[in-house]
Chain A
């Protein structure tokens, strides 16, 4: 039971971080379908940092530097989306999709190259981080408390405050709702959208490293992040682009994802004799159902997905 709570919280943290990322991007007017790829690259950044940190590094420094690396990678990678969709008015769906594929392919190529260089017989795309991972975890009894749960809560507060209490948030949302209006009062729409996308890169990168640290001590980059970027988008839509509601939605989705990891710990679930694949499918099925029920009346930022062209005002 405790294990279920633990996994629910950690997966909810992932979904919350990434969904908040999507939320920032969409509030600025850019649909970020590339979150999946951003997660992979963020995870790559964090994993590489953990791999190359010297053995004696203090736990605190490991956590900080790993997070920082994930953020830097995520932000840098999201710039690819920003430049294409904002400056070149590229189709956001195509570019987002390309980023997802590029993320997995690029990370695989890089990690394999690193592994092969270190050991010519090693052609895997796996990075191990058994030791540094311990820095992220505090054992409270049998409950593994993970620092990412704190990070997620901090980011939730950060998102709420930034969006609703600051000048920046007001301007950002204006750009996603009515960029012509924002432009007419001297707000640089392109700059704000860049900011929105880069913040989503930061949160997506954090979510990525959080995801690969969630259950295991090594990650095979060929696998990407199994649609989590898209689950996060479903969470965002279910949460109606509002941080607090997104947090609740993330908990719900996190629960179903956690089930697939721990269902064998429940005798009555095991006795039902349902194949493991069914539990694996659960989060995706739930998200389809949730989207079917909520999408009809959802109120997305009005100008999302439409490139802003100064000539059109």
Chain B
């Protein structure tokens, strides 16, 4: 399983000394050629995140991601359909526990993710910068991501109150409608905002008690994959969020067609892909949520992946 992949063409990073220094504080990104007196940097191997573990792809394949300067930033796992299948199994197994967790606990855990991200903020700023985001924008994106997590952490025990209902039926029954998570949700993250966009896509899914398999942006996967480290240290139960990297063209169809996935969220505006997703989703009447453009956080995105359950009971003696 844990086969080592020999990557070809590993290049020397040409980041400036200051940047290299900053990166060294967090997980070391830059594969820097060390000045004579400094020790050799340890580059991070980016792996998948499935069922609370960090496996490499079972396929043994990889793809390279280039940084802003066109150099290879990392070799990413090119996840296969089997990796996706494993991730769905993990998400399904985790579902009843996570859906059954109290809203308070889910809120606490999402808040914990925010705390952990805050603590590792510099690592993510560095990763964003590596991919060409300027420093101020990178900082803004990381803080916005943390705030997004806090925002949804706060919603976990409120959306039910805002969107559920007691229905005044005419017969002698008590009738109420509550929201329940739809189940296992597959998420195709958009290209924009590697970190913020990814978190904005998965946070409302998780806040509502679903479990997820998310595909990181193909062009810009570093932050999403690194986010797994944050999740891993944040009491998020294994399998609740599974993160894959790989070729969207190869995996999107699997994300859309899998019979044990209840909903798909696809960020992006590729018309032919959207059509394909909707067609494949019909296999099991999957709920399809298409977000052609990034959407600011709001509770309706939680509701998008909720089912309404209505319960009747007689009122009598």
A, B co-complexed: no
B interface residues with partner A (beta carbon < 8 Å): none
